[in-house]
Amino acid sequence: PKPVLDQKENERLWKSLQHGSSIEMTETVCRLLVHPESTVPFLGTKLRPLTMTKKQVERAIQKLDSEKEWEGAYEELSKLDPRLALSLEECWALAKTEDQKRRLAWVLHGEVIGGTEESHFELEPPKEKNGQWKLRWGFGTMGVSKDLAEIRMSRSRPKWFAETQAVTLLSLINSPAAWKVIEAMATGHNEATPTMRAGNALKCRKRGMFAPGYERPKFQRFRPVDPKLDERFVEPTPEEIQQVENRNHWNNLDYSVASESKIESIFDFLLRKPDETVAFFKTKMWPLKLNRKRADELVAKLFGAKEADWKGAVAEFAKLDIRLAYTVQEAWELADSDDQRTKMAMAILLDGPKHSEDLANFDVQLRKVVPMPVFEKLSEKDQARLYFDFTMKSGLPKELAERLGNHRMYTVAPGHFDELNEHLWNRQACAIHILDAIGTADALELIRDMATGHPDAAPTKVAKEVLKRRKR
């Protein structure tokens, strides 16, 4: 790969870090970290201390009703934030005209609210002592953060998320130029997340945590407080600790995990010894390809009477999904009895393999779904899904029936590859970018192996894109 990333590519990656998908965000973190020559100067142009004065806020809000100047003022207020200088009430009091209030509401919300270009906005104080401030327009209402503390707690990817992660990237690059940018960021508002991250990084640097040869502390399990339990406590082995860390960090690559936790796990995989990460990924990754002949063999076992056979088939379908060979509708139509339909549900429901033991106690029937009156038709993803009703089998023991009655399981089987990629294979796709950053022969060999999978599976597509880019 090239030793530096050009400006256009850096801008694309920065946009992905701000708003991109889980896979795109992983690519950004990995590529920026392994290209310090271009990353440090680029991030130096993106990061500025988060400070605003009252006069700056006043001037910017006054421009929000100027047709020539409002966009620039809106961008300034959005990149920084008026709450860096004033309270929420004080900010709102500065907006006098309808345009100023409307556009300031967009700033406070975090983006333009579609359909409100002509709306009248009002700020409503909380009705309870610790309640939330709200913005109201017409029939719409939404909560709004009153200060920087609430901003830090809002959304899975909060305000200044990219800037905060950029500070961490620079600290890991650990060059004099990188620390110069961090030192500047540490002069911002002391309650803004990037400022706090920069300050913490500088403290860690003073303690020698970025010095060559420093070993990060390993996960420590807390000892039981109860003396009786403490007598039976056995200190975990390094291997057991590593297994816990591996499991936690792998799970954090899931699409649904908060972005902050995801990036922490990406960094952990990258900062280990390369062979450790690659060896672990080999236990979690295999080419996603399944032909119909093999799928039919597994279906025969799935529909068989022997418990060991059908459980084994469920486990195989958890690794190589039947939708790699059949559409979800085709897979469902392979079942022609209550027992077969229940077992097929184990293979195609989102959590079917996980809850196969409990699913065995239900009859599963396809449910017809029609669009709501406000929609003319179902979306493409909706049309590809199957929806089910569960009926508990009769004659079950009372305790089991009560537990199953309170057990919530997914009743949806996705069929569109966008959903399969998101729900089933997001972690593998993210891992390919981590392997690309590691760049060892074993890592690249695993990427080449993953590139042989189903062409519509995200890990296959990401692997092919990585290999193509590496050939340029």
Say if residues 285 and 324 touch (Cβ distance below 8 Å).
no
Residue 213 backbone zone (phi > 0: left; psi -120 to 50: alpha; other: beta): left
Average model confidence (pLDDT) across the chain: 91
199, two tokens? 């300050």
For the full predicted model, state whether its pTM sits above 0.75.
yes
213: confidence class by pLDDT, cuts 50, 70, 90: low
Closest CA to 287 of 455, 435, 441: 455
Closest CA to 453 of 441, 439, 467, 442: 467
Alpha-carbon gap, residue 321 to 309, rounded angstroms: 17
What mean pLDDT do residues 339-368 have?
94
pLDDT for residue 134: 95
220: confidence class by pLDDT, cuts 50, 70, 90: very low
Burial of 64 (0-12, 13-18, 19+ CB in 10 A): buried
Please determine, for residue 180, whether its predicted confidence score (pLDDT) is greater than 80: yes
Task: Write the pLDDT tens digit of every residue in 9-18.
Answer: 999 999 999 9
For strands 133-137 and 412-413, give the pairing. unpaired
| Main-chain phi, psi angles of 368, to 5 degrees | -80, 130
315, two tokens? 């486990």
3-state DSSP assignment of residue 469: helix
How many other C-beta atoms lie within 10 A of the C-beta of residue 10? 22
Alpha-carbon gap, residue 315 to 319, rounded angstroms: 7
3-state DSSP assignment of residue 251: helix
Closest CA to 42 of 76, 5, 3: 5
Please determine, for residue 110, whether its predicted confidence score (pLDDT) is greater than 70: yes
Crossing angle for the helix pair 426-438 and 22-33, to the nearest 10 degrees? 10
How many other C-beta atoms lie within 10 A of the C-beta of residue 379? 11
* CA angle, residues 234, 235, 241, in degrees to nearest 5: 125
What mean pLDDT do residues 125-150 have?
92
pLDDT for residue 129: 86
Per the document, the length of the chain is 472
Alpha-carbon gap, residue 306 to 315, rounded angstroms: 14
Closest CA to 280 of 260, 250, 300, 313: 250
Task: Write the pLDDT tens digit of every residue in 260-298.
Answer: 999 999 999 999 999 999 999 999 999 999 999 999 999
Start-to-end C-alpha separation, the chain:
7
Alpha-carbon gap, residue 297 to 303, rounded angstroms: 10
230, two tokens? 């403490």
What mean pLDDT do residues 143-160 have?
87
Lowest mean pLDDT among 115-124, 216-225, 373-382: 216-225
Burial pattern 383-403, b for ≥16 Cβ within 10 A else e, equals ebbbebebeeeeeeeeeeeee
Residue type, 436: D
How many other C-beta atoms lie within 10 A of the C-beta of residue 236? 15
Task: Write the pLDDT tens digit of every residue in 385-405.
Answer: 999 999 999 999 999 999 998
Say if residues 31 and 466 touch (Cβ distance below 8 Å).
no
Say if residues 100 and 65 touch (Cβ distance below 8 Å).
yes
Say if residues 94 and 130 touch (Cβ distance below 8 Å).
no
For 364, the enclosing helix (H) or strand (E) is strand 362-367
Burial of 218 (0-12, 13-18, 19+ CB in 10 A): exposed
Residues 6+ apart with CB under 8 A from 389: 364, 365, 367, 411
For strands 362-367 and 121-124, give the pairing. unpaired
HSE (side-chain half, CA atoms, 13 Å) at 470:
16
Please determine, for residue 90, whether its predicted confidence score (pLDDT) is greater than 80: yes
In 3-state terms the chain splits into helix, strand, coil percentages (rounded to 5) of 55, 5, 35
For 134, the enclosing helix (H) or strand (E) is strand 133-137
Closest CA to 119 of 93, 139, 146: 139
Using CA atoms, how far residue 135 sits from 90, 97, 143, in Å, is 15, 16, 6
Task: Give the rounded distance of the alpha carbon of 157 from its chain centre.
Answer: 9
| Main-chain phi, psi angles of 273, to 5 degrees | -65, 130
